[in-house]
Amino acid sequence: MNQLNNEQLNKDIVVLSIESSCDETSAAVVKNGREVLSNVIATQIDIHKRYGGVVPEIASRNHVDCIYNVITEALDEANVKLEDIDLVAATYGPGLVGALLVGLSTAKAMAFSANKPFLGVHHIEGHIAANYVTHKELEPPYICLVVSGGHSNLVYVKDYTEFEILGRTRDDAVGEAFDKVSRVIGLEYPGGPKIDKLAKEGTPSYKLPKTFFEDSLDFSFSGIKTAVINLVHKEGEKIRVPDLCASFEESITDVLLNNLLKACELKGTNKVALAGGVSANSYLRSRLDKMGKENNLLIYYPELKLCTDNAAMIGAAAYFDYINGKTSSWDLNAVPYLKLGDKLRK
């Protein structure tokens, strides 16, 4: 596939994008894949906090309640009307099936009524594309470390729409491990930011396991998760929570960056990007910056508001698919367990 850039396009492409894969309802207007005209996010964190995690049915109902207002606000903020839009896009997987269907059905209905093309977008490709919004100069190829609640992948981004999976988790994703550890030590949902904050007050004095595979760049985080749970049950109130958080972050990050550096060596590239909710972790960012300086790597990560689920990243990914000739049919369904690398259905 030939790489395209904005200068090669004859006209601006304006995308209305919708993201509803989990517990954020978001709509955005994005121009040419990199310029965000609006990015409205309605979060449900306070709703799900009382349950200690996302309840799928409650998430779906709340998407239904607020999606119209979120889309209206996004269009108003961008100062555009539906007839000004060139493409309507929405996440079709992976994610919670009921939540996905709300955004997907809404996007298809709007595109059909306005006689606009429609495109389903892979959620993880969206996370990767968030880097194009923050870093206008970033172009493939590069290595991307995707770390989120449901995904841990090492990806070689060959081109804007071509991805090679170099490694993936064999059990728990990074964000999943963060959430489970936070629950066992009594932190409120979402646990990741709270672990990150507490870790700054502690020292990594607990010895926790790290899993490396000799012949693979895959990850495994079930061992460290189980070790933390057993340690908390054994020591009870004597546990030093800040030290445990610091130890957990250090062990997780050691594994991630070890494999990331190997991936760079494998592909002969010095460009590295982060993506996904866990890419907001301050310790991971600081360690990656240090590794970059020590190994002459160019480091990219999205601004914090683009790390978590949002529609701007979906609009960015949609643009690059669209200019490469991709659109979706009206019968495209939600695919909750869609894997990175699966082809978009025409």
The predicted pLDDT at position 241 comes to 95
Q: Is the dihedral of CA 18, 20, 21, 22 positive or negative?
A: positive
Separation CA 141–CA 121 (nearest Å): 20
Fold category of 140-302 in CATH: Nucleotidyltransferase; domain 5 (3.30.420)
How far is Cα 70 from Cα 76, in angstroms, rounded to an integer?
A: 10
- pTM: predicted TM-score of the whole model, two decimal places: 0.92
Q: What pLDDT is stored for residue 199 in this prediction?
A: 96
Length of the chain: 346
pLDDT, residue 339, reads: 85
Question: What's the rounded Cα separation, in Å, for the pair 13 and 323?
Answer: 9
In the prediction, which pLDDT does 343 show? 58
> How many CB atoms lie under 10 A from the CB of residue 101?
20
Provide the CA 331 distance to its chain's centre, in angstroms: 25
For the chain, residues with pLDDT lower than 70 are 1-9, 343-346
pLDDT of 46: 77
pLDDT at 346: 40
**Which amino acid is located at 300 in the chain?**
Y
Phi (first) and psi of residue 275, to 5 degrees? -155, 155
DSSP symbol at 277: G
Domain 6-129+307-323 has CATH 3.10.350.10: no
Residue ranges of the chain that CATH labels 3.30.420.40: 6-129+307-323, 140-302
pLDDT at 2: 38
